[in-house]
Amino acid sequence: MIINVEGYNFMCLLKQPVFYEDFLMTGHSRFFWTLFVLLSIMSAVPAAEEPFPNVLFIMVDEMRWDALAANRSDNVYKTPALDRLAAEGTRFTHAYTVAAVCVSSRHSFFTSRYSHVHGATDNQVPIRTAQILLPGIMKQLGYETAISGKLHFSPNDKDYDFDYFRSFGNEGPKTLQTWPQYLSQKYTPAQRQLKDAPFRGDKLGGDLGRLEYPKEDTQSFWITDRAVEFLHIRDKSKPFFLFVSYLEPHSPSHLAEPYWSQFLAEKDRVKLPSTFVPGLAPKPEDGITRNGRAWVSDPEIAKSMTAAYHAKVKHVDDNIERLLDGLKKAGLDKNTLIIFTADHGNMLGDHNRWFKGVQYEGSIRIPLLVKAPENSAYAETFNQGKTVSRLIESIDVMPTLLDIIGKPLPDDPGFQGKSFTKLVAGNDPGWKNIVYSERRGMLVRDSKYKLIKNEEESGGGYLLFDLENDPEETQNLAGETALQSVFEELKKKLDAWQKEEPPVPKYPGLEPKFPPAEEKRNKEQRRDRRQPAQ
């Protein structure tokens, strides 16, 4: 008979199993010897529990949903690593960022709150007050927290509860080498200069060109190497939460080989969107001010920038392959939840626009892939290559992540997202049929219609699109009498949503952290907010 006491399995700890008979059938000395051994083991070895899953959260910057090959109807641009992840996990075809600009979106991912609620409503606007942030929760749960890449929180010198902070630029405590430091140690300024730039001096295309140094020294490669390095040097007594966050495919459009050659091969074959009008100038209500980088009307530049964008997507896809290989080689692939998404999209010439910050699909619709830990109960539902087309908001990612690791968020209206684990299991008939997003203007979208309220500074007004029959958003139906009730109903929802501002939620044992400096917030809110998002 094998002795088991409160989950301590002595079979795996002793060369010889300890039998119950030992206690009864032998003399006192043997009894006390056995007791001594058992007590020593009990004090030194923790109870055998279900393994606590690790979390690998991969974010890219400015990747629209259909830049992921699995989400495209044609076969022009390839993303094999991400497609494989989609085949091994679950792919969400209608995921939306609740705010199509970096700072706002990232705070929403990490607070599960809309941007008018956490307060960082634009890139230049810090959060309104201290918040409960995902890395803080993970730390509270006993995780070692790590970032390699881009965070883009403000102020940018805090660690935001990341134990290990590898910055792609100038963020965090900078106690570890950053990518710019690495690069400047290795190359002279002349070696780092852009070569073969075809549109030098152009507002949008000016940053496109070839990198002289090899792909092994690019930012995405470095971010991947530092993330994989962390997997080996981490505190192995804890599970990890690793946020790997790439700047690509965001500009600058600097391409190392072989991606520069991919760009050269593709640029003249690019098919521009049907809503792109060559030579079209922006109207005042388009809200394009200042340097106008968010507008493109030269077909040659639009084609080249699109080809460069997809070459950058391929570069980041290749690095995600290296990252997932690294996870596997470290023996961590079975017990790790993997999430892949983007903070927002890029218009890529739709309606003559570039970058994001507007309410069209190219700007707000994002790729989203989730693969549950293979050894978890969720593997059965999440890891079957399923496609989910129901509407998802970026604020739903955090509750889902915590649900999958077995630590669901407290039921508090301050956490505005909802876990989609039951939806994926086909067991959530009440799942939302609506998404919201905002950045100056705002929108509400249901399964068929989208209502956009333009920002007041660009003339205000509404746009109503029938996405089922007009996916390219070309016919504004806001004045149509036949759709008056649809318009009114969506407008009512939009108004009510804007009024909803639940206080910072409570989380056991955790205080809201990282309040903005009041002086900074006041100063930054006074800035001209009409500058396009770039």
400-459 binders of Ca ion (CB under 5 A) = none
Closer to Ca ion by CB, 62 or 161: give it.
Answer: 62
CB 454 within 8 Å of CB 462: yes
Is the CB of 102 or the CB of 204 nearer to Ca ion? 102
**Minimum separation from the CB atom of position 179 to Ca ion (A):** 17
| Residue 6 neighbours by CB distance under 10 Å | 7
Residue nearest to Ca ion (CB): 102
- Looking at the Cβ atoms of 204 and 504, the one nearer to Ca ion is 204
- State which residue, 343 or 361, has the beta carbon closest to Ca ion: 343
Q: Judged by CB, which is closer to Ca ion: 64, or 314?
A: 64
Q: Which is nearer to Ca ion, 101 or 332 (CB)?
A: 101
Written as one letter, the residue type at 243 is F
Decide whether 61 or 350 has the Cβ nearer to Ca ion: 61
* C-alpha–C-alpha distance, residues 388 and 379, integer Å: 15
What whole-number distance in Å separates Cα of residue 92 and Cα of residue 100? Answer: 18
Q: What is the smallest separation between the CB atom of 319 and Ca ion, expressed in angstroms?
A: 17
Reduce the DSSP state of residue 163 to 3 states and report it: coil
Nearest CB to Ca ion, comparing residues 222 and 246: 246
Q: Which stretch binds Ca ion (CB under 5 A): 22-30, 130-138, 336-344, 517-525?
A: 336-344
CB of 342 to Ca ion, least distance (A): 8
How many residues lie near Ca ion (CB under 5 A)?
Answer: 3
Single residue of 61, 225, 361, 455 touching Ca ion by CB under 5 A: 61
Q: Is 171 in the site for Ca ion (CB under 5 A)?
A: no
Residues 141-170 as x/- pattern, contact with Ca ion by CB under 5 A: ------------------------------
Span of 58-66, 82-90, 189-197, 203-211 interacting with Ca ion by CB under 5 A: 58-66
Tell whether omega for the bond before 508 is within 30 degrees of 0, i.e. cis: no
Q: Is 9 exposed, middle or buried (0-12, 13-18, 19+ CB in 10 A)?
A: middle
- Cα gap 63→341, rounded to integer Å: 8
Output the smallest distance, CB 103 to Ca ion, in A: 8
The stretch among 60-68, 136-144, 158-166, 386-394 that binds Ca ion (CB under 5 A) is 60-68
Q: Give 399-435 as a 3 state SS string.
A: HHHHHHCCCCCCCCCCCCCCCCHHHHCCCCCCCCCEE
**Given candidates 343, 393, 438, 473, which one binds Ca ion under the rule CB under 5 A?**
343
Q: What amino acid is encoded at 363 in this protein? A: S
Question: Judged by CB under 5 A, which stretch of 4-12, 55-63, 120-128, 279-287 contacts Ca ion?
Answer: 55-63
The residues, any chain, with a CB within 8 Å of residue 233's CB and separated by 6 or more, are: none
Contact 105, 114 (CB under 8 A): no
Least distance in Å: CB of 246 to Ca ion? 11
CB of 512 to Ca ion, least distance (A): 24
The pair of structure tokens assigned to 478 is 């806001």
In angstroms, what is the minimal distance from the CB of 93 to Ca ion? 21
Distance CA 107, CA 286 (A): 27
474 vs 374: CA distance, rounded Å? 44
d(CA 226, CA 427): 39
Nearest to 50 by CA among 410, 408, 422, 405: 405
Q: Which of the residues 84 through 113 are near Ca ion (CB under 5 A)?
A: 102
CA 161 to each of CA 123, 136, 137, 147, 183: distance values in angstroms, whole numbers, following the listed order: 21, 5, 9, 10, 26
Residue whose tokens read 């899953």: 53
Q: Please report how close the Cβ of residue 124 comes to Ca ion at its closest, in angstroms.
A: 14
Q: Which is nearer to Ca ion, 103 or 327 (CB)?
A: 103
Is residue 433 within 8 Å of residue 450, measured between CB atoms? no
Residues in CB range of 519: below 8 A, 6 or more apart: none
CB of 525 to Ca ion, least distance (A): 20
Segment lying near Ca ion (by CB under 5 A), choices 27-35, 56-64, 226-234, 426-434? 56-64
**In the complex, minimum distance from the CB of residue 74 to Ca ion, in angstroms, rounded to a whole number:** 26
Only segment of 109-117, 257-265, 301-309, 343-351 that touches Ca ion (CB under 5 A): 343-351
Find out whether 165 and 147 touch, Cβ atoms under 8 Å: yes
Residue range at the interface with Ca ion (CB under 5 A); choices 54-62, 296-304, 310-318, 440-448: 54-62
CB of 534 to Ca ion, least distance (A): 10
Interacting residues toward Ca ion by CB under 5 A: 61, 102, 343
